[in-house]
């Protein structure tokens, strides 16, 4: 892009040369797209060829498939609920009452990315109540920690795009208490951000391997790995299926979210940017 910017300043006689560079810039874009596309799609194609169509049929009947997928989905749901219930009020509170510690929050929420998962597991095991330690839902507590950086950033970006203080005060002055204000005023205006948080959390849980295998629970990714030791083709088919199902699920959330926020004038749902156009004229 620097080259393009420079050519704009070139004086009149050389303008045609500048245009040539701009055109080749467009061409470059396609080259990058094709290379990146090949990088992501080729392994999938190869995996697909390796597994063969038949393997897809036998995946579903394989032992452990249903139970491991079921476990992963349940964990995803529990993790998402806990994450939102924890992070939404916290982030709203920070925005309203403690805007000064937003920097600190950003620092804290990045920790799970920096700290190795093993350390997090040991930490959670230390403080988790005994009754939880014997269930797979202990993993959810760990996933909540892992999802925190993404959830916090998504919600934080959504709140920044809102005039939170004013609408919360307006809601209060109209007689709404905190629960009503959060439920009817704040959350509906954060659908984009919350969907981003949900999408990221779900994707993270459905793909997490390290913690689950260390904690000896057979979640879907663990099952795929274990299964690959015995039947390579079926496990590859299973991972492709998992990828497709996850992708389909995320697309559904995204489409639903976009339709909703378009109606109310918000931006579209994207995974990492929560852009919200403020269309307010006089």
State the nearest-atom distance from the C-beta of 187 to other proteins, in Å: 9
Site size toward other proteins (CB under 8 A) is 27
Instruction: Say what the alpha-carbon torsion angle 30, 36, 39, 42 is, to the nearest 10 degrees.
Output: -50
**Residue ranges in 137-176 that form contacts with other proteins under rule CB under 8 A:** 162-163, 166-167, 169-176
State the nearest-atom distance from the C-beta of 163 to other proteins, in Å: 6
Calculate the alpha carbon distances from 271 to 117, 154, 195, 258 in Å: 23, 9, 9, 12
Rounded Cα gap, residues 267 and 264, in angstroms: 9
Q: Do residues 133 and 202 make contact, with C-beta atoms less than 8 angstroms apart?
A: no
Residue 188 binding other proteins, by CB under 8 A: yes
Chain centre distance of CA 115: 19
**Residue ranges in 189-208 that form contacts with other proteins under rule CB under 8 A:** 189, 191
State the nearest-atom distance from the C-beta of 102 to other proteins, in Å: 20
Per this entry, what is the length of the chain? Answer: 282
State the nearest-atom distance from the C-beta of 282 to other proteins, in Å: 4
Question: Which lies closer to other proteins via its Cβ, residue 103 or residue 263?
Answer: 263
Give the x-and-dash track for 236-265 against other proteins (CB under 8 A).
Answer: ---------------------------xxx
Rounded Cα gap, residues 121 and 143, in angstroms: 10
- The one segment of 36-44, 71-79, 178-186, 249-257 that binds other proteins by CB under 8 A: 178-186
The packing angle between helices 65-97 and 138-160, to 10°, is 40
Residues at the contact surface with other proteins, assessed by CB under 8 A: 162-163, 166-167, 169-177, 180, 184-185, 188-189, 191, 263-266, 279-282
């Amino acid at each position: 892009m620097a080259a393009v910017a420079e050519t704009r300043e070139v004086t009149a006689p050389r303008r045609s040369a500048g245009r040539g560079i701009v055109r080749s810039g467009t061409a470059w874009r396609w080259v990058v797209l094709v290379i990146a596309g090949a990088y992501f799609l080729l392994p999938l194609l190869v995996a697909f060829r390796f597994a063969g169509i038949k393997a897809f049929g036998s995946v579903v009947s394989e032992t452990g498939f249903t139970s491991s997928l079921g476990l992963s989905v349940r964990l995803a749901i529990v993790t998402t609920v806990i994450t939102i219930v924890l992070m939404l009020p916290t982030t709203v509170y920070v925005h309203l009452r403690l805007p000064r510690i937003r920097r600190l929050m950003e620092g804290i929420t990045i920790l799970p990315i920096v700290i190795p998962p093993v350390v997090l597991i040991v930490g959670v095991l230390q403080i988790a109540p005994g009754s939880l330690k014997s269930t797979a839902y202990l993993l959810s507590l760990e996933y909540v920690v892992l999802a925190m950086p993404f959830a916090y950033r998504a919600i934080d970006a959504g709140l920044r795009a809102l005039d939170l203080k004013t609408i919360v005060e307006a809601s209060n002055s109209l007689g709404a208490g905190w629960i009503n204000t959060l439920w009817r005023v704040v959350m509906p205006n954060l659908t984009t951000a919350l969907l981003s948080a949900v999408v990221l959390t779900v994707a993270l849980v459905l793909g997490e391997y390290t913690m689950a295998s260390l904690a000896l629970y057979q979640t879907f990714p663990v099952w795929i790995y274990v299964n690959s030791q015995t039947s390579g083709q079926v496990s590859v088919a299973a991972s492709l299926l998992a990828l497709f199902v996850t992708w389909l699920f995320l697309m559904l959330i995204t489409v639903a979210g976009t339709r909703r926020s378009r109606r109310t004038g918000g931006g579209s749902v994207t995974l990492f940017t929560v852009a919200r156009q403020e269309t307010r004229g006089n």
